[in-house]
């Protein structure tokens, strides 16, 4: 791909890449490519990092959240941060007193606001039911946007009882038709125009979409929910990160039926994000690539064998290396990690890895000393 880009960059040409493809502009191959074409064009790199919480909230509000025992890293979502920045001080202080309900309060406030905006005599609970239905239909039929008229038809067909009950709340002259009421819902604040085609709509952002996917998943008490594509799991998981551990664990449990369709890397990523540990007995003979872990337990009970961690970052991780058998870490980074050093030797290897507290040298030197003695 770099060669193709080099050939295209002549005169006033422009090449647009997705963020995933931008990863090619790094490493030794990129440097060689840049040197090869240095007489043809100059390469200037600009990197936009994700905004940090302090970019959204005042230091006073951050301190109040921390004093309330809230892990503010879990709130690092632009939708929630914008909400927490905009609320009045009294409301913010009340939210700090019931921190586990911050996400629910956001959605409740938005749904109540929608009642005023559209003169919609539908309770927030019933609005949420319809939004959940639409999200699940998208998962089942593998789409994220559709023609507005089709969304209106979907709402009429699958939420007829809710629509009829709501219509009865209006007085005779103000009572909307089913079509008009469904049309109001299709112009809900949680929907937006899509760039996928004319007159198409979609959920306003991934956080909202994921929340209503997760609502539907959790309502399925048989734990056998399935989507048409595994791509719908990530927004559900990401939307639940600001919630408490009990709620996150419930979502992980409800995703049981979908887990077997996930790659080992995605499975471990979601297990870690939702449960704050990695301990499923399914990671043997797999390769885990490009994940970042922070403050988690690694295999406190289950074993992992003949596996590879490639280009992963581990921060404040407690490893139970006695559960590791023939596991290799390649180009990984370790920051302030711990392990039980009373159970040497360990059958693990480090290739091109780094740390900030010497655990790699400690483990490798023990193995070398043991080998010399034998």
How long is the chain?
374
Distances in whole angstroms, Cα of residue 16 to Cα of each of 9, 22, 27, 93, 196: 11, 10, 20, 45, 18
Whole-number Å distance between alpha carbons of 349 and 330 = 8
Quick one: pLDDT at residue 213?
A: 98
Whole-number Å distance between alpha carbons of 353 and 361 = 10
Q: E-strand spans in the chain?
A: 145-147, 191-193, 200-203, 277-278, 287-289, 292-298, 304-310, 313-319, 324-330, 333-335, 338-339, 347-351, 354-355
Provide Rg for the chain, Cα atoms: 25
List beta partners, residue 325: 305, 347
Whole-number Å distance between alpha carbons of 36 and 55 = 40
DSSP 295: E
Whole-number Å distance between alpha carbons of 2 and 21 = 10
Which is more confident, 191 or 364?
A: 191
Question: What value, to the nearest 5°, has the Cα angle with vertex 127 and ends 125 and 132?
Answer: 95
Whole-number Å distance between alpha carbons of 288 and 270 = 13
pTM of the entire structure? 0.81
Q: 32 CB contacts (<8 Å, ≥6 apart)? A: none
> What does the pLDDT look like over 303-314, one tens digit per residue?
999 999 999 999
Quick one: pLDDT at residue 22?
A: 56
- At residue 37 the predicted structure's pLDDT band, cuts being 50, 70 and 90, is confident
> What does the pLDDT look like over 81-111, one tens digit per residue?
999 999 999 999 988 887 678 899 999 999 9
Ranking 69-78, 87-96, 101-110, 169-178 by mean pLDDT, the lowest is 69-78
- At residue 47 the predicted structure's pLDDT band, cuts being 50, 70 and 90, is low
Distance of CA 186 to the CA centre of its chain: 26
DSSP 51: P
As a whole number, mean pLDDT of residues 265-288 equals 95
As a whole number, mean pLDDT of residues 248-267 equals 96
DSSP string over 161-197? HHHHHHHTTS-GGGPPPHHHHHHHHHT-TTEEE-TTS
Tokens 């990092």 sit at which residue? 49
Tokens 């040409």 sit at which residue? 13
- At residue 48 the predicted structure's pLDDT band, cuts being 50, 70 and 90, is low
Which is more confident, 175 or 32?
A: 175
Quick one: pLDDT at residue 369?
A: 57
> What does the pLDDT look like over 184-207, one tens digit per residue?
999 999 999 887 777 899 999 999
Quick one: pLDDT at residue 23?
A: 59
């Amino acid at each position: 791909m770099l060669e193709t880009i080099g050939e295209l960059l002549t005169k006033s040409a422009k090449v647009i890449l997705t963020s995933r493809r931008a990863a090619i502009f790094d490493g030794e191959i990129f440097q060689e490519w840049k040197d090869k074409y240095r007489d043809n064009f100059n390469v200037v790199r600009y990197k936009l990092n994700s905004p940090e919480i302090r970019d959204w909230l005042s230091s006073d509000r951050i301190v109040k959240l921390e004093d309330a025992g809230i892990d503010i890293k879990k709130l690092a979502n632009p939708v929630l941060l914008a909400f927490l920045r905009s609320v009045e001080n009294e409301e913010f202080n009340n939210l700090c007193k019931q921190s586990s309900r911050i996400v629910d309060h956001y959605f409740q406030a938005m749904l109540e606001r929608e009642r005023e905006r559209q003169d919609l005599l539908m309770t927030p609970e019933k609005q949420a039911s319809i939004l959940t239905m639409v999200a699940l239909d998208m998962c089942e039929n593998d789409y994220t946007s559709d023609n507005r008229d089709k969304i209106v038809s979907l709402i009429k067909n699958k939420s007829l009882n809710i629509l009829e009950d709501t219509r009865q709340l209006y007085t005779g002259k103000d009572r909307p038709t089913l079509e008009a009421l469904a049309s109001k819902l299709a112009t809900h604040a949680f929907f937006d125009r899509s760039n996928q085609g004319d007159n198409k709509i979609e959920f306003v952002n991934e956080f909202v979409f994921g929340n209503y996917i997760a609502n539907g998943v959790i309502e399925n008490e048989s734990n056998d929910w399935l989507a048409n594509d595994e791509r719908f799991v990530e927004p559900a998981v990401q939307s639940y990160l600001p919630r408490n551990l009990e709620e996150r664990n419930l979502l992980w449990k409800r995703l049981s039926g979908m887990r077997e369709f996930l790659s080992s890397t995605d499975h471990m990523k979601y297990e870690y994000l939702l449960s704050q540990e990695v301990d499923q007995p399914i990671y043997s003979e797999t390769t885990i690539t490009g994940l970042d872990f922070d403050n988690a337990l690694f295999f406190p009970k289950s074993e992992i064998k003949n596996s590879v961690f490639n280009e992963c970052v581990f921060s404040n991780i407690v490893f139970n290396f006695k559960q590791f058998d023939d596991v290799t870490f390649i180009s990984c980074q370790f920051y302030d990690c711990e392990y039980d050093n009373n159970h040497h030797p360990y059958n693990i290897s480090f290739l091109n890895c780094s740390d900030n507290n010497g655990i790699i040298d400690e483990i490798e030197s023990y193995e070398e000393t043991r080998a010399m003695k034998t």
